Chains A and B, each alone.
Chain A
Amino acid sequence: MIVVADGYRFNFKDAINVFKFDETDPASQTFHGAPMKAVDIIAELSDVYLFIEVKEYPASYDPDAITGEKACSEIDCQKRPKHSEWLKNTLKYKFRDSFLYRYAEDKTEKPVYYLCLLNFDNALNSVMQKNLRNELPVGKASARWVKTLAQSCQVLNLEAWNRNFPKWPAQKVSAE
């Protein structure tokens, strides 16, 4: 099943369903339509859901997107999160809002795997992955939890994605 999002085309060969989760077209059956952040793609497999977020950096850097307010002074600008903090928060809140949205849809019965496709090198992706896993959080964050929000979180570049997920090949649309 093929889906295109943020300039990348994915083919989830073993998926039951795949759709652009942050669909902005009201005419679409999968129109998002809620005042919440959203990951780019959701793929449903037989036993799991995949949440997929694509980020080209720094092209996607928008420090005002977290607060929703435009920084209009130098002091406001200084208060903006650093790039790595901004990116991590963006990935984190997109996941959490998407999970809540799916909860409201009653679509959280399968474990959720969060896959982020970034254009960083492997070392920077490793750092981002470590921080993101801690904050999502991955696994059961408390002894009181009986379920997880995220079963797993992986941050990969395109090369690592295609090496690790041959059943879900991805490519840049512009590279076709």
Chain B
Amino acid sequence: MMKSLKFQNFTAFDLLDISFSPGVNLLIGENGTGKTHVLKAVYAACDITKSKKGFAEKINDVFYPSGKQIGRLVKRAKTSSNGSLEISRAMPDGKVVSIKLSLTSHMLTPNKAKVTGATKIWLENPFESVFIPVKDMMANAPAFRSLYATRNIHFEEVYADIIDRAFLPALKGPTEHQRSKLLGILQAAMDGKVITKNEEFFLKNKQGELEFTLLAEGFRKLGLLWLLIQNGTLLSGSALFWDEPETNLNPRLMQTVVNILMQLQRLGVQIFVSTHDYVLLKEFDLATLEGDQIRYHSLYRDNNTSKILHKSCDTLADLDPNAIDATFGSIIDRQVSKDMGGLGK
């Protein structure tokens, strides 16, 4: 389970020190406040436990700086500068260990970067992790994997990774009750189940088989979640990273998605979600029961210094600043001004 993340002069951040919930972590903030960077950094640290890739190389592949020059991940400064990211994790025995990646702005390749900390223990305890990016890749899966493997195409590695995870075959043996229940909820919502043929995904139901290219993007998202649960990627002890689940998702389906995510949290999956969406955020608030573990993280720019800061809290009501609510507040203010002129001013 991932415990915390510390950035120093990394990407857009001067300093960030954030502690995670073992359950659900919701990141909100305006564009350019680094939500996706947090998700990617923690995901890279999780992924290497299975892929055994070098931490610096994985970070470089998921962030994909221009020319793959890893030094470009150091926060920009007029002179040469240093940056780092450090991630802590609670091991199954409760012991907390960390790994740290140190960079300088002039580094060109990952092999020049320094990785320190408990790297050996980190890799000795593998677990599954999955990153669902904003852009849907399920409809474009055919041939993408082979193209990505053989050609230098400009895609962050999270896109190749998610397709790999989706293509994993189903787990052996019967599906246990809890997973079966979650699959049932998703099947009811998207009216079918997902099958794979020649690297192409189809939604199968009584009417036949519908290729993903013809399927609404919202249903593709549910289909992806179905695959990840069905093939055992999302089991107890795994981690799910989902960048803006609301994209192309009908607000009415958000309750289903949040219900599934909260159930996964109860099964022991650690979840990281970034969002700009009020409905999604509110659905999490409404779905939270006693005993659930959820933390809201607000990333925002300081008005005076423009530095990115963060605040974390355990209830939506305490989230401040709340960029989503502030937007609605601004709409209300303009409506009052339009309707009431100067009254009360």
> What is A's interface to B at a CB cutoff of 8 Å?
45, 48, 113, 121-123, 125-126, 129, 152, 154, 156, 159-160, 163-168
Please, which residue of chain A has its CB at the minimum distance from the CB of B278?
A123
CB–CB B340/A113 < 8 A: yes
> What is B's interface to A at a CB cutoff of 8 Å?
278, 282, 324-326, 328-329, 331-333, 335-337, 339-340, 343-345
Residues of chain B within 8 A (CB-CB) of A125 are 328, 332
CB–CB B339/A152 < 8 A: yes
Seed contacts A113-B340, A164-B332; 6 additional CB < 8 Å A-B pairs: A122-B332, A125-B332, A126-B328, A129-B332, A165-B343, A165-B345
CB–CB B332/A165 < 8 A: no
A121 to B282, alpha carbons, bound, how many Å?
A: 10
Q: A154-B335, A154-B336, A160-B332 are in contact. Are A166 and B325 (CB under 8 A)?
A: no
CB–CB A166/B345 < 8 A: yes
The smallest C-beta distance from A142 to any residue of chain B, in angstroms, reads: 20
Q: A123-B282, A152-B339 are in contact. Are A165 and B329 (CB under 8 A)?
A: no
CB–CB B333/A152 < 8 A: no
Residues of chain A within 8 A (CB-CB) of B328 are 121-123, 125-126
Please, which residue of chain B has its CB at the minimum distance from the CB of A12?
B344
A171 to B325, alpha carbons, bound, how many Å?
A: 21
Residues of chain B within 8 A (CB-CB) of A123 are 278, 282, 324-325, 328
Interface of A is mostly: mixed
A168 to B345, alpha carbons, bound, how many Å?
A: 8
Q: Which 7 A-B pairs have the closest CB atoms?
A: A165-B344, A122-B328, A122-B329, A152-B339, A123-B328, A164-B336, A123-B278
CB–CB B344/A152 < 8 A: no
A48 to B305, alpha carbons, bound, how many Å?
A: 44
A63 to B41, alpha carbons, bound, how many Å?
A: 50
Residues of chain B within 8 A (CB-CB) of A163 are 329, 333
Residues of chain A within 8 A (CB-CB) of B333 are 160, 163-164
Residues of chain B within 8 A (CB-CB) of A126 are 328, 331-332
A113 to B325, alpha carbons, bound, how many Å?
A: 25
Please, which residue of chain A has its CB at the minimum distance from the CB of B326?
A122
Please, which residue of chain A has its CB at the minimum distance from the CB of B324?
A123
Residues of chain B within 8 A (CB-CB) of A164 are 332-333, 336-337, 340, 344-345
Q: Can you list 14 A-B contacts (CB < 8 A)?
A: A121-B325, A122-B325, A122-B328, A122-B329, A122-B332, A126-B328, A152-B339, A154-B336, A154-B339, A154-B340, A156-B332, A160-B333, A163-B329, A164-B336
A165 to B339, alpha carbons, bound, how many Å?
A: 13
A157 to B25, alpha carbons, bound, how many Å?
A: 27
A7 to B282, alpha carbons, bound, how many Å?
A: 27
